[in-house]
């Protein structure tokens, strides 16, 4: 698997269909899931601090 260096996540996301032998749907699902989990943890952390 060969990954091109890009200047932003948007550029990388747009270039994904150009990659060969990469399970695009799986990679995109993994990225969305990871981003969502990080977002939820961040929000939970902020809310915990506000209630203290």
In this structure, is residue 3 part of a structural domain?
Answer: no
User: 1-52 pLDDT, tens per residue?
Assistant: 456 778 888 887 777 776 777 777 888 888 899 999 999 999 999 888 876 6
51 within a domain of the structure (yes/no)? yes
**Tokens standing for residue 4:** 């091109």
| CB-based contact 6:15 (threshold 8 Å) | yes
C-beta of residue 5 within 8 angstroms of C-beta of residue 15: no
Rounded-to-integer distance, Cα 6 and Cα 30, Å: 19
pLDDT for position 1: 46
Q: Determine the structural domain holding residue 45 and report its residue range.
A: 23-52
Does residue 46 belong to any structural domain of this protein? yes
| 49 in a structural domain | yes
Q: How many domains does the chain have?
A: 1
Q: Beta strands of the chain (E only): which ranges?
A: none
- Annotate 23-52 with DSSP letters as a single string: -HHHHHHHHHHHHHHHHHHHHHHHHHHHT-
> Is residue 2 included in any domain, yes or no?
no
């Amino acid at each position: 698997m060969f990954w091109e260096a890009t200047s932003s996540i948007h550029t990388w996301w747009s270039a994904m269909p150009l990659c060969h032998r990469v399970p695009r749907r799986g990679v995109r699902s993994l990225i969305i899931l990871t981003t969502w989990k990080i977002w939820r943890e961040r929000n939970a952390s902020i809310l915990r601090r506000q209630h203290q």
